[in-house]
Homo-oligomer: A and B are copies of this chain.
Amino acid sequence: MSAVDLSVSVGPLKLRNPILLASGTVGYGNEISEFIDLNKIGGIVTKSLSLKPRKGNTPQRVIETPSGMLNAIGLANIGVEEFLKTKIPFLKKFDTKIICNIAASSVEEYVECTKLLTDEDTISAFEINVSCPNVKEGGLEFGNDKKAVAKITEEVKKVSTKPVFIKLSPNVSRISEFALAAKEAGADAVSAINTLVGTAFDIMTRKPKIKNITGGLSGPAIKPVALAKVLEIRRNVDIPIIGIGGIFSWQDAVEFMIAGASAFQLGTVNFVHPNISETMINDLILYCEKMKIASLKNLTGSFIL
Which positions in A face B, CB cutoff 8 Å?
65-68, 70, 144, 171-174, 196-201, 203-208, 213-215, 217, 219-225, 227-228, 231, 246, 251, 254-255, 258-259, 287, 291, 302-305
Contact = CB atoms under 8 A, between A and B. Distances in A.
Contact of A173 (B144, B219, B304): B144
Contact of A67 (B67, B201, B302, B304): B67
Contacts of A206: 258, 302-304
Nearest to A219: B66
B199 A227 contact: yes
B304 A205 contact: yes
Nearest to A69: B224
Given A199-B259, A214-B228, 7 more contacts: A66-B67, A67-B220, A144-B173, A196-B224, A199-B228, A200-B255, A217-B225
A225 B259 CA distance: 23
Nearest to A291: B204
B173 A200 contact: no
B231 A305 contact: no
A250 B211 CA distance: 23
15 contacts: A65-B224, A66-B221, A67-B221, A173-B173, A198-B224, A201-B255, A203-B287, A205-B304, A206-B303, A207-B304, A207-B305, A213-B305, A214-B228, A215-B224, A221-B222
Given A173-B144, A287-B203, A68 B224 contact: yes
Nearest to A172: B173
A171 B170 CA distance: 9
Contact of A225 (B198, B203, B207): B198
List 8 A-B pairs, minimum CB-CB distance, nearest first.
Answer: A198-B224, A66-B220, A221-B221, A67-B67, A66-B67, A199-B228, A201-B255, A203-B254
Given A172-B173, A174-B144, A246-B66, A225 B205 contact: no
A171 B67 CA distance: 20
A255 to B, nearest CB: 5
